[in-house]
Chains A and B, each alone.
Chain A
Amino acid sequence: MTAGGVRLAGALEAQRERLLPCVHCGFCLPACPTYNRLGDENDSPRGRLHLMQAVVEGRLDASSDAFQTHIDRCLGCRACEPVCPSGVEYGTLLELAREAAAEARPPDMLTRSLLVVMGSRPLRGMLFIGGRALRATGIAGWAVRHLGGDGVAGTLRFALAMLAATTEAERLGRPDASAVGVAPTTDLSGAMDAGSPETVPNGEREVQAGSVGVLQGCVQDGLYGRLNEATARTLDVNGFNVRIVTRQDCCGALHAHGGDLRTARRLARQNIEAFERAGVDWVVVNAAGCGAAMKDYGVLFEGDPMEARASAFAERVRDVTELLAAVGPRRGAPVTCSVAYDHPCHLMHAQGVTSEPLQVLDAVPGVEVRVVAKADECCGGAGIYGMTHPDLGAHIGGDKVAAVRDTRADLVCTPNPGCMMQIGAGLRIEGSCGDVVHPVELLDHSYQRAGYYR
């Protein structure tokens, strides 16, 4: 057995409780986007668990093509978890398998570089400065329209389309377009820097719902600054005391999913310490992937002296829509539009948060929600899946884009930046308008029109 195999064997042996409940019933097969499209048992959750088991038993090598390919091809959408009658914690097992796979055979250049960049604040800062420049100058949008085809050009085009998709929705709030982009700024730019906790001024509403710190995140901070601001403002209006939490970092989800659990733990530790110092009641997240990872911090540190603190931290993590729904969000002014709503996998399957984002949209009069057909199926975003698995990614993404288009809605709405970028990119490449908003952005816009921020 290779080193990776031994490690996985050890890791999975420790996880016997998690792996053994799989009774091979196959209920997960129909929920799996890769199995549905490829029909290969190896590309199903049950098949992947079987491959892991085979590595544990020493019948299969973690460096083998079979293990590498099929473990890598998983989107990590965790749609298999809620349908599992035995409650197998697939997501946790996948991360261990990815770690073993990465040890046995290092991942490709693109994945490795991305993990290094995202794990380092200065590097990702530079990446996002470049990204914002490409976006602001319109070069990204232009390239999407003019770059062509397959291979490297296709991958680059997709990357730029994802970047272009982070542009603030132009049609937000149409027909009254004048209201767009004039939201007063709650300046959260200092959150990543050192310094003492501060309190963001809380509007006129009495503070009663508790104190919150907003995870600034990596992509959110770099490309969705407006979403982080909207998160803070809408929580403030709803009675939360929003505090700036300094010295926080990327949540580490990308690293955990990519098999780099060491970096994931380093980043997690940094966040746990930062939010503990701030002493907030809730750690609020507006990206489903980050929220799912942070709710699993306890598992990430299993057997580590840090475990108890990590679990206590995880208990306090909430998606922004959960907090808003819990207090029954204050209604804003009408924003007349129809939205195609899609469920993010890491919210619906990994966190069991399904109705809360819709309750947030309910607080915006005039919004007509059209739930996308098969809204519970992955959009193919899954980090940079569209770049690492161009064919299958395009297939899965294409089906989602078609379902979104079928709604004929004005805007796309989904509460996760990763999905926002993936769906927006798919629409842009097809030449459609790719305006995508987070439910909290819509709520923010509605509050702004209502004058709650004055």
Chain B
Amino acid sequence: MATPRELTISSVMTQTLTPTIADRLRAIVGQNHVITHPDRLVAYESDGLTAYRVVPRAVVLPETTEQVSRVLAVLHGEGIDVVPRGAGTGLSGGALPTPDGVIVGTARMNRILSIDEQDRLATAQPGVINARLTEATAPYGLYYAPDPSSQSACTLGGNVAENSGGPHCLKYGVTSRYVTGLTVVLADGEVVRFGGAGTEAVPSLDLVGLFIGSEGCFGIATEIEVRLLPAPEGVRTLLGIFDTMEAAGRAVTDIMASGLMPAAVEIVDHATIVAVEASVFAAGYPIDAGAALVIEFDGTEAGLDDDADRAEQCCVAADAREVRRATSEEERLGLWKGRKKAFGAMGRIAPDLLVQDATVPRTRLPEVLARITEIGQEYDLKIANVFHAGDGNLHPNILFDRQNADELDRVEKASREIMSLCVSVGGTITGEHGVGVDKRGYMPLVHNEVELEMLRRARWVFDPNGNLNPGKVLP
């Protein structure tokens, strides 16, 4: 597996694109939408995971399905690798360029093509920002449920590629539950359609389901049809403050065992609280608290107060030091602040940040967190935890400085131990960020050789030459 260190040093020489190929691409997408000058390619060397940097050979920014098809046909004919890129917010290096590959970016494919109020469906281009879809459908009383924490910036194409989740996916499920149809351009430029028109049961093998989460290795989705939900009538939000992580964990277990169906259950640990409160984003969480728990219920008004009362009782029974309840939208945002701003606050206390992503059975959370703390101590690293407690999805944030080679090495080793730990308790190596390049090396922890070969073959069906996003996902 490629370690961050190897890739950080941009030792690999990026090849430039021959003028002929560049001109052919410009003829398709327009003069200004093919970037070939090395100085202008530097900005594309990383996505949201900056531990890795590779300058691409060129960047092409098409606007329509037809343009994507023609661009891929040209590149396929020349045997050039393609790395699809949306907003570049991914945290597993899924859009990391390859030195001889061309980035095909969807930034200009940002139109919502249709909103069908009656059938509660919308069709959008891949470059549409997740939150924009909800904004556009709000006038009809509808919204798009998957809400990655980056939803104000990440795009639907990337959400499909990563099968993205978010805080509210505890109740509502991840992207695959909402995508009903896809127009896909394959590696050779062929355009195919999977599903469509809200079909619940496809009269065949579920190709939509197979494509979602393929991390850019199967094709580029150029039209995405999604199911919309009616906006919930009401919402109740609670914040529980606990002396220990163990107590917060008990509260979560009780809430889930009691039959309640919260929309979100999120925890920030002591280290995160300290970081947030020391930053400009101070949310008013007590800095001596062991954990803070955000619980949210939504749905029809009737019953919401009952649900919130019962959750509060669970917190109190688990020795919560304090439980706050929002009485206005403003207060609600205030309770969420410490959770939502955690990522940015980390950015202020260390030059580099690796946001890890793994999933463990909910009941194993306390012991896993205790062990992660030990791992941090063993490798002398600062690790702060933020996680979707309801579904056991952990995000250990490892703080480091890229300039420090020794520290980078320890980050890599600690990451591997955390992943092994999560797998050993029955979990897996990603919850929602995808495998990308960062966790490719951990794939053998969760798949045996037979399974890996099946995955390779599935990829071969879509892209026999392996030109699409090479070096990602599969070891």
Contact = CB atoms under 8 A, between A and B. Distances in A.
Interface of A: 20-30, 35-36, 38-42, 44, 46-47, 50-51, 54, 59-61, 64-67, 70, 83-87
Contacts of B129: 30
Interface in B30-82: 32-33, 35, 37, 39-40, 42-50, 59, 61
B61 A25 contact: no
A116 B323 CA distance: 61
Nearest to B105: A39
B37 A65 contact: yes
B348 A25 contact: no
Given A25-B48, A41-B88, A84 B39 contact: no
Given A23-B347, A50-B42, A39 B88 contact: no
A86 B348 contact: yes
A42 B107 contact: no
7 contacts: A25-B48, A26-B87, A30-B153, A40-B107, A41-B44, A67-B39, A87-B344
Given A25-B48, A83-B152, A40 B35 contact: yes
A41 B43 contact: yes
A87 B89 contact: no
B351 interface: yes
Q: Which one of A25, A46, A47 has the highest number of Cβ atoms from chain B below 10 Å of its Cβ?
A: A25
A86 B344 contact: yes
B161 to A, nearest CB: 15
B341 interface: yes
Given A39-B105, A40-B61, A26 B150 contact: yes
A24 B43 contact: no
Contact of B43 (A47, A61, A83): A47
A87 B348 contact: yes
B344 A23 contact: yes
A42 B40 contact: yes
Nearest to B355: A23
A21 B39 contact: no
Contacts of B138: none
Given A26-B88, A51-B42, A67-B39, 11 more contacts: A24-B49, A26-B48, A26-B89, A30-B132, A40-B35, A40-B40, A44-B43, A46-B88, A85-B281, A85-B347, A87-B281
Contacts of B105: 39, 41
B210 interface: no
Interface of B: 32-33, 35, 37, 39-40, 42-50, 59, 61, 87-89, 105, 107-108, 110, 127, 129, 132, 150, 152-154, 279-281, 340-341, 343-348, 351-353
Contacts of B152: 27, 30, 83
A183 B457 CA distance: 81
B306 to A, nearest CB: 35
A28 B150 CA distance: 11
A65 B50 contact: no
Contacts of A66: 37, 39-40, 42
A87 B153 contact: no
A86 B347 contact: yes
Contacts of A42: 35, 40, 43
Given A42-B43, A60-B39, A23 B153 contact: no
Contacts of B110: 36, 39
Contacts of B88: 24, 26, 41, 46
Nearest to A16: B351
Given A26-B150, A47-B43, A85 B343 contact: yes
A24 B341 contact: no
Contacts of B340: 85
Nearest to B10: A59
The DSSP consensus for interface residues of chain A is loop
A21 B43 contact: no
Contacts of A70: 40
A440 B259 CA distance: 58
B346 A23 contact: yes
Contacts of B281: 85, 87
Contacts of B35: 40, 42
Contacts of A21: 344, 347-348
Contact of B150 (A25, A44, A54, A87): A25
Contact of A26 (B33, B153, B280, B345): B153
A282 to B, nearest CB: 25
Contact of B344 (A44, A67, A84): A84
A371 to B, nearest CB: 16
A16 to B, nearest CB: 8
Contacts of A46: 43, 88
Nearest to A54: B42
Contact of B61 (A39, A64, A84): A39
A402 B50 CA distance: 39
A39 to B, nearest CB: 3
A29 B344 contact: no
B347 A60 contact: no
Contact of A23 (B37, B40, B108, B353): B353
Given A27-B150, A39-B107, A87 B43 contact: no
B327 to A, nearest CB: 21
A59 B39 CA distance: 9
Contacts of A24: 46-50, 88
Contacts of A41: 43-44, 59, 88, 105, 107
A41 B43 CA distance: 6
A65 B347 contact: no
Given A30-B153, A66-B37, A85-B344, A23 B107 contact: no
A92 to B, nearest CB: 15
B328 to A, nearest CB: 17
Contacts of A65: 37, 39
A66 B347 CA distance: 27
B343 A50 contact: no
A22 B108 contact: no
Nearest to A39: B107
Nearest to A37: B108
Contacts of A84: 344
Contacts of A26: 48, 87-89, 150, 153-154
A29 B35 CA distance: 18
Contact of B87 (A29, A83, A85): A29
A38 B49 CA distance: 23
B42 A59 contact: yes
Contacts of A60: 39, 42
Q: Which one of B88, B127, B347, B352 has the highest number of Cβ atoms from chain A below 10 Å of its Cβ?
A: B347
Contacts of B61: 39-40
Contacts of B46: 24
A296 to B, nearest CB: 17
A47 B48 CA distance: 12
A326 to B, nearest CB: 21
Given A51-B43, A60-B42, A66-B40, A27 B347 contact: no
B442 to A, nearest CB: 22
A67 B37 CA distance: 12
Given A29-B153, A85-B341, A23 B50 contact: yes
A70 B47 CA distance: 19
Nearest to B91: A25
Nearest to A22: B347
A46 B266 CA distance: 28
Q: Which 4 interchain pairs have the tightest Cβ spacing?
A: A85-B344, A39-B107, A66-B39, A86-B347
A39 B30 CA distance: 13
A20 B352 CA distance: 8
B156 to A, nearest CB: 13
Q: Which one of B43, B105, B343 has the highest number of Cβ atoms from chain A below 10 Å of its Cβ?
A: B43
A72 B279 CA distance: 32
A87 B39 contact: no
A398 B434 CA distance: 40
A20 B43 contact: no
A38 B348 CA distance: 30
Q: Which one of B61, B154, B344 has the highest number of Cβ atoms from chain A below 10 Å of its Cβ?
A: B344
